[in-house]
Amino acid sequence: DAKTTQPNSMESNEEEPVHLPCNHSTISGTDYIHWYRQLPSQGPEYVIHGLTSNVNNRMASLAIAEDRKSSTLILHRATLRDAAVYYCILKLGGSQGNLIFGKGTKLSVKP
């Protein structure tokens, strides 16, 4: 599985946007970019995923570089409930491939 690199931790202020980066320079053409987050003592929660084009949903936006070697998860207005570990994961499309978790980025949100 192709590897992703994320900062260990980031801090944000409440109600401000947060940009969480992820590098995946060895991504293959069939890999989708997935983001999950895990709140303390809970199972991971799906956030968003994409292949080439930028994606938006009610939780976040995903900006994918043109060469697909990096991506950025954007939380438009961070809240205290967004404090979690965010995982950027590459996975084959559809039913193929497993979700292999790296270390993720621990996001802290200050009031």
Partner 1 sequence: GAVVSQHPSWVICKSGTSVKIECRSLDFQATTMFWYRQFPKQSLMLMATSNEGSKATYEQGVEKDKFLINHASLTLSTLTVTSAHPEDSSFYICSARDLAGVGSRFFGPGTRLTVL
Binding footprint of partner 1 on the chain (CB under 8 A): 32, 34, 36, 38, 41-46, 49, 87, 91, 93-95, 98-104
Q: Which CB atom, from 35 or from 109, has the smaller least distance to partner 1? A: 35
Is 36 or 68 the residue whose CB approaches partner 1 more closely? Answer: 36
**Dist CA 40 CA 38 (whole Å):** 6
Residues 6+ apart with CB under 8 A from 12: 18, 75, 78, 82, 107, 108, 109, 110
Provide the minimum distance between the beta carbon of 107 and partner 1 in the complex, in angstroms, as a whole number. 15
Contact in structure between 76 and 55 (CB atoms under 8 Å)? no
Residue 38 or residue 72: which is nearer to partner 1 going by CB? 38
